[in-house]
Amino acid sequence: MKNKSDFIPSGGITSPGGFLAGAASAGIKYKNHPDLGILFSETACAAAAVFSTNKIKAAPVILSEKRLQDGKARAVVINSGCANSCTGGRGMKDAVAMAEMTAEHVGVAADDVLVASTGVIGTMLPMDSIGRGIAEIKLTTEGGHELARAIMTTDTVPKEVAVRADGFTIGGMAKGSGMIHPNLATMLCFLTTDANVEAGFLKEALKEAVDTSLNMVSIDGDDSTNDMVLIMANGKAGGESVIAGSRQAEVFQEALNKACIQLARALARDGEGATRLIEVNVKGAASLADARLAARTIVGSSLVKAAVHGSDPNWGRIIAAAGRSGAELEESKLYLEIGGICLVKGGAPVSYNKEKVVKHLDGDEVNIVLNLNMGNAGAMAWGCDLSEEYVTINSEYTT
Amino acid sequence: MKNKSDFIPSGGITSPGGFLAGAASAGIKYKNHPDLGILFSETACAAAAVFSTNKIKAAPVILSEKRLQDGKARAVVINSGCANSCTGGRGMKDAVAMAEMTAEHVGVAADDVLVASTGVIGTMLPMDSIGRGIAEIKLTTEGGHELARAIMTTDTVPKEVAVRADGFTIGGMAKGSGMIHPNLATMLCFLTTDANVEAGFLKEALKEAVDTSLNMVSIDGDDSTNDMVLIMANGKAGGESVIAGSRQAEVFQEALNKACIQLARALARDGEGATRLIEVNVKGAASLADARLAARTIVGSSLVKAAVHGSDPNWGRIIAAAGRSGAELEESKLYLEIGGICLVKGGAPVSYNKEKVVKHLDGDEVNIVLNLNMGNAGAMAWGCDLSEEYVTINSEYTT
């Protein structure tokens, strides 16, 4: 398939037409630190989202899921510093109030406003500060960059993307970190497009894009109490409605996958304490499910991550992670490459240039290819190395 | 149930009558470091084992599994420093040769000798050194302590146990480490008893004991390519054959569980870089499977482990781990205690003495109790905190 879309340099969530954003410093966790923001569409939007599957769901997740049942939204208010999770009835009241204040500030119905939160669990939102913060927010077409900063927690850089395809644009931003393993760190991702996408197809397309991108990062999007991936499509670019099975649906899906994979890689690269991006490419699996399982298990293995951190070509850890992943495999068929250099063929170690592999592991991005030689399915997964700093960050988070 | 068994201070694998052990320094990975040993029964034994369920199985695992099909064994030869895993046909030949040399040295049939290995994957055993090492081994009734040291890898202390019950003794030793999460580090555990246990019941009793002990440590016994838990019963203590359903079967099971839980706790406490033992007690689960799932997920959570390391009462991480575990639960029913102090009741945070909780977290052993209030099932799981040192150890393992 020929490349149908291109990245827009320095693009972001407000790159597509008709979207505005802005942020403020509400002092939720730290003083003078942007921690609150609004994403807004000037016109009506089809909207869809994928939420956390954790049985404990934060108030903003429950509220937004309910409000998205009609497939529409106009705005989302987002805060960092407090997850508003495990906060009972008062937490739900606070989420509803945040949406109301935002609705009033931007001039839409409260039902069209969604809420997303990330931060410490079990503490209440400082509602006075939130109210003052919302009132201060100025929405602009350049505000996406500011908003991408405001949603950061232990992230060291904002994650933004924009993709231009034939006739429409997709923008996005995400926050993540805490990449050691499918675990608790909240992943929030927001996507916008001016394509005229039908609500039903928008939901399908988002699910497909998330499964090949954000769900293949070693932090599993399903796991925190606050995870949310939201897409809003306002149709400003015009054209026929993009529906399932249409020619334009394929173009849209390709561009959306591209945007989401870019964000997934950015999330992995900025894992807590990360010094390298790890990309695992599993080929020759008997099924797509097997390929994903193996790729995710390898990139999520703490021992693989620690070996990469030490530039140690300890390939047995990769093979053993695949072995315990549950994917169908036979030892005698395994083929393994690190940085394009073959280390294992037919399940047996081959002699290789260790210096070259170590040099690759020392680099900024580590590529692992494992061919199971069982079938034709493949999948990619992304993660980061495990450094001493991860531990330091996570043993000092609330205090 | 009244306590039917007691620990024997400084006991070990050769505490039960009729068992001998010894070790040697074969220089497999390091010079002048015990790394090879033999456990031997003077008379015929019923034997049973639980092996790794990893799809990649090391040669010694494949060989021992085959040789145990008759429910009998007389000796096991064990080495550290090299896992003899992913070593193909030559690896299997080496495992067979190790057993043969041992059989000759101790004077039993090769079919009655099992093999266990732990260490780096993908390197071949130095068979000349192994041969010289085996020839040097002297078997004594005190040799259990020496053998418990020889099987260590990144373990900092040997793990030994002995339990005396009415009419028989159980001894045991284990090696583990790499406790961050269900992952690759090999867990080897050997148990002996002079009880006269019937082979069929021995297998059942071992499975039951492992499920409540070693499989509840945050390193999952199922995961490495080399995991093995072996029990040998030589009947030297005499008495009627212990069979399923008998009065003595209950006594034996209780004593075996006690020995295995003691080893499980010792393994968790000595996790790589560990500074504290974490014990998670899940109560009120709808089923035993749910209780185990929740307890294991909590104790295996990197964020919970890192919070404990920082003495940070970040209880939201515990609740969220339970939420994503898959166990049936309702937020509004959750009750959480750390060190006997209640932090969450009816799913909502309660005010608590933070200083006291931090003091408990600073201690040697951290106790977490989570009551799901959904039913009557309960389970315990053990793990350790996650320290910077874990990362250092695991990024420098092979090199």
- What confidence score (pLDDT) does residue B241 get? 95
Q: How many CB pairs below 8 Å do chains A and B form together?
A: 201
**Is the Cβ of B185 closer than 8 Å to some Cβ of chain A?**
yes
- Reported as a single tens digit per residue, the pLDDT across B97-120 is 999 999 999 999 999 999 999 988
- Identify which of B55, B184, B319 has the shortest CB distance to residue A86: B319
Rounded (10°) angle between helices B316-324 and B288-300: 130
Return the SS3 of A51: strand
| Continuous segment of H or E residues that includes residue B162 | strand B159-165
**Is the Cβ of B359 closer than 8 Å to some Cβ of chain A?**
no
Distances (CA, A) of B241 to A350, B117, B194: 52, 32, 11
- Residues facing A30 on adjacent strands: none
- What confidence score (pLDDT) does residue A181 get? 40
- What confidence score (pLDDT) does residue B179 get? 47
Given this chain, do its domains B5-266 and B277-394 carry the same CATH topology?
A: no
Average pLDDT across chain B, whole number: 91
- What is the band of B185 on the pLDDT scale with cuts at 50, 70, 90? low
The strands making up A277-285's β-sheet, listed across from edge to edge, are A348-349, A341-345, A335-338, A365-371, A277-285, A377-384
- What confidence score (pLDDT) does residue B2 get? 53
Q: What angle do CA B318, B335, A225 make, to 5 degrees?
A: 40
- What confidence score (pLDDT) does residue A88 get? 87
Q: Please, how many CA atoms are within 13 Å of residue A300, restricted to the half-sphere of its CB?
A: 25
Which range is least confidently modeled, A322-326, B89-93, B173-177, B191-195? B173-177
Distance, CA of B126 to CA of A353 (rounded, Å)? 22
Residues 37..56 of B with a Cβ closer than 8 Å to A: which? 53-56
pLDDT below 50 — which residues of chain A?
1, 179-184, 220-222, 397-399
- How far is A155 from chain B, CA to nearest CA, in Å? 16
- Say how many C-beta atoms besides its own lie within 10 A of residue B8's C-beta: 16
- Reported as a single tens digit per residue, the pLDDT across B115-165 is 999 988 888 999 999 999 999 999 999 999 999 999 998 788 999 999 999
Check pLDDT > 50 for residue B232. yes
**Is the Cβ of B350 closer than 8 Å to some Cβ of chain A?**
no
- What confidence score (pLDDT) does residue B178 get? 56
Query: Quick one: tokens of A2?
Result: 């020929």
Residues 115..174 of B with a Cβ closer than 8 Å to A: which? 120-123
ipTM for the assembly? 0.73
- What confidence score (pLDDT) does residue A149 get? 96
- What confidence score (pLDDT) does residue B270 get? 85
Check pLDDT > 60 for residue B69. yes
C-beta atoms of A317 and B395 within 8 A: no
- Reported as a single tens digit per residue, the pLDDT across B15-54 is 999 999 999 999 998 888 899 999 999 999 999 999 988 8
A130-142 as b/e, with b when 16 or more CB fall inside 10 Å? bbebbeebebeee
**Is the Cβ of A315 closer than 8 Å to some Cβ of chain B?**
yes
What is the distance of C-alpha A313 from the center of its chain?
A: 29
Q: B5-266 — its CATH code?
A: 3.60.70.12
DSSP state of A340: T
- What confidence score (pLDDT) does residue A104 get? 98
Return the SS3 of A193: strand
Q: A5-264 — its CATH code?
A: 3.60.70.12
- Reported as a single tens digit per residue, the pLDDT across B297-342 is 999 887 788 889 889 888 988 998 999 899 999 999 999 999 999 9
Name the catalytic one among B87, B186, B225, B297.
B186
For residue B366, which residues of chain A lie inside 8 Å, CB to CB?
none
Distance, CA of A147 to CA of A9 (rounded, Å)? 17
Task: Name the residue among B274, B301, B61 with its Cα closest to residue B177.
Answer: B274
| Continuous segment of H or E residues that includes residue A267 | helix A247-269
Architecture of domain B277-394 in CATH?
A: Roll (3.10)
- C-beta separation of A85 from A121 below 8 A: yes
pTM, two decimal places:
0.82
For residue A125, which residues of chain B lie inside 8 Å, CB to CB?
none
Task: Give catalytic status of residue A186 as yes or no.
Answer: yes
For residue B316, which residues of chain A lie inside 8 Å, CB to CB?
83, 85-86, 120-122, 184, 225
C-beta atoms of A88 and B120 within 8 A: no
C-beta atoms of B395 and A307 within 8 A: yes
- What confidence score (pLDDT) does residue B32 get? 85
A169-187 as b/e, with b when 16 or more CB fall inside 10 Å? bbbbbbbbbbbbbbbbbbb
For chain A, the structural domain boundaries read 5-264, 277-394
Question: What is the average per-residue pLDDT within B385-393?
Answer: 71
Q: Which of B29, B51, B56, B318 best probes binding to A when mutated, by most A CB atoms within 10 angstroms?
A: B56
- How far is B312 from chain A, CA to nearest CA, in Å? 7
